Amino acid sequence: MTKEKSERYKQGMATRRSVLGDAHVDRAEAKKTVFDEPFQELITEAAWGHVWSRPNWTKRERSIVTLALLAALGQDEEVAMHARATVNTGATREDIREAMLHVAIYAGVPAANHAIKIVKQVFDEMDERKEK
């Protein structure tokens, strides 16, 4: 018995796919288990369906703020994931550089330094894939 997904969930899934890409979301969905399904539904509805889908900011603006917050919190895997997502959000490398400068001042140089290392690695990987 599968329950019908809410409109907020459907919007969230559409936004999630537009930001992270179908391949990423498909991989995440394939790994979903009974244990983490409620959590996946929560983040799809709340983060993607409510916050990321609001009309007040563009996906570019949300991407910049999200990367700064994740860097400040030291969330390495999420920094990498959202750095890759900039290709879909319109956030430029210059935007992310400016965000990391803010992180350095408001959250600390070590947090920014570590996030910059991660972002540079992600951008290098993205550039390498383009060249092939």
End-to-end CA distance of the chain: 45
52 with 65, same domain? no
Question: What's the structural domain count of the chain?
Answer: 2
Evaluate whether 18 touches 88 at the Cβ level (below 8 Å): yes
The model carries a pTM of 0.92
Residue pLDDT, tens place only, 25-66: 999 999 999 999 999 999 999 999 999 999 999 999 999 999
Q: Are residues 62 and 117 located together in one domain of the fold?
A: yes
Q: How far apart are CA 9 and CA 97, in angstroms?
A: 32
pLDDT digits (tens, 9 = 90+) for 64-105: 999 999 999 999 999 999 999 999 999 999 999 999 999 999
Same domain? 69 vs 113: yes
95 and 42 within one domain:
no
- What does each C-alpha distance from 48 to 18, 93, 102, 114, 122 come to in angstroms? 10, 23, 24, 26, 23
CA separation, residue 76 to residues 22, 80, 91 (Å): 22, 6, 19
The whole domain housing 87 covers 58-132
129 and 64 in a single domain? The answer is yes
For residues 41 and 67, membership in a common domain is answered with no
For residues 72 and 42, membership in a common domain is answered with: no
Residue type (1 letter), 75:
Q
Q: Out of 56, 75, 90, pick the residue that ends a domain.
A: 56
